[in-house]
């Protein structure tokens, strides 16, 4: 495995994207940093992680051969790889808060930021950024966040967890190329946080509404059963309140 370990960088996603432009890198090349000075999260948020405590890394995936319209599949493969790796360490009550926050019980333990580079209507490559809270135990101002150290009786070796995630991801890609996406969608949906439970959501205008999460469409939209109809939403259109 091509693994580049950095003491510090702004963001491993940024670093890897720059590196791809500069030279030939292997498929599944990994850049991991002890510290990110400008870690990035979903929706333009910051990903803050205490120096040296957690896993912050990015994986290069080349030759994906998935149409941009089907790019949500990448979220599925990556989310499942993390879930299965954490299950191997007996992390309890794992779920995926759509689209790809990994929770243990109600607390976020891992986040994913996938950046696709599209060329000729195909994903040329993807930079898959993953943050996992491993040894940090204080999360100031973040009441819904936790770490492996806070919930497990053992200390998890960061390198072992990273290797496991890469192995699972390779396995899931192979599975997809051989069998297609149908069973993977079902597996992803089986982990969906608050699936089949009435939940409250907030719209961009801050109004709230209720609905029941039933699944995720092939394009990655959240499928909600509402009072008198079924509707699909994208990430900008709602926020789950929990
Ligand atoms: C989120 O949940 O908002 C996504 C967080 C993704 C964080 C990881 S840490 C490694 C990689 N580099 C970044 O700048 N972000 C991702």
Mean pLDDT check: name the lowest of 73-82, 95-104, 120-129, 166-175. Answer: 120-129
Q: Whose CA is nearest to atom 7 of ligand 1?
A: 131
Mean pLDDT, residues 94-121: 95
- 215 Cβ closer than 6 Å to some ligand 1 atom: no
CA nearest 185: which of 86, 73, 106, 83? 73
- Give the other-Cβ count within 10 Å of 146's Cβ: 21
Q: Which of 15, 37, 47 to mutate to test the pocket of ligand 1 (most atoms within 8 A of CB)?
A: 47
> What is d(CA 145, CA 50) in angstroms, rounded to the nearest whole number?
13
**For ligand 1, mutation pick of 111, 166, 235 (most atoms within 8 Å of CB):** 111
| C-alpha dihedral, 146 to 149 to 150 to 152, nearest 10° | 110
Whether the upstream peptide bond of residue 99 has omega within 30° of 0, thus cis, is yes
Question: Averaged over 138-160, what is the pLDDT?
Answer: 96
H-helix or E-strand spanning residue 55? strand 55-62
Whether the CB of 136 sits within 6 Å of ligand 1: no
User: Which domains, and CATH codes, for the chain?
Assistant: 3-190 (3.30.930.10), 198-241 (2.30.30)
pLDDT tier at 122, thresholds 50, 70, 90: confident
Residue 220 in contact with ligand 1 by CB distance below 6 A? no
Query: pLDDT tens across 183-222, in order?
Result: 999 999 999 999 999 999 999 999 999 999 999 998 999 9
């Amino acid at each position: 495995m091509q693994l580049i370990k950095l003491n510090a960088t702004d963001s491993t996603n940024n670093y890897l994207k720059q590196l791809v432009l500069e030279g030939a890198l292997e498929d599944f090349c990994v850049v991991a940093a002890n510290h990110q000075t400008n870690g990035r999260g979903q929706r333009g948020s910051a990903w803050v992680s205490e120096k040296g405590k957690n896993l912050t890394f990015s994986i290069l995936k080349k030759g994906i051969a998935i149409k941009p319209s089907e790019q949500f599949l990448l979220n599925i493969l990556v989310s499942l790889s993390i879930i299965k790796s954490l299950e191997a360490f007996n992390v309890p009550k794992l779920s995926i808060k759509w689209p790809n926050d990994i929770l243990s019980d109600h607390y976020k333990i891992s986040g994913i930021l996938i950046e696709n580079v599209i060329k000729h209507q195909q994903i040329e490559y993807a930079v898959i950024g993953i943050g996992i809270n491993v040894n940090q135990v204080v999360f100031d101002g973040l009441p819904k966040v936790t770490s492996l150290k806070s919930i497990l009786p053992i200390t998890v070796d960061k390198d072992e967890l990273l290797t496991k995630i890469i192995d699972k991801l390779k396995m899931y890609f192979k599975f997809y190329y051989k069998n297609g996406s149908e069973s993977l969608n079902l597996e992803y949906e089986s982990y969906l946080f608050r699936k089949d439970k009435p939940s409250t959501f907030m719209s961009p205008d801050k109004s709230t509404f209720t609905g029941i999460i039933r699944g995720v469409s092939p394009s990655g939209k959240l499928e909600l059963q509402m009072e008198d109809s079924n509707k699909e939403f994208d990430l900008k259109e709602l926020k789950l309140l929990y």
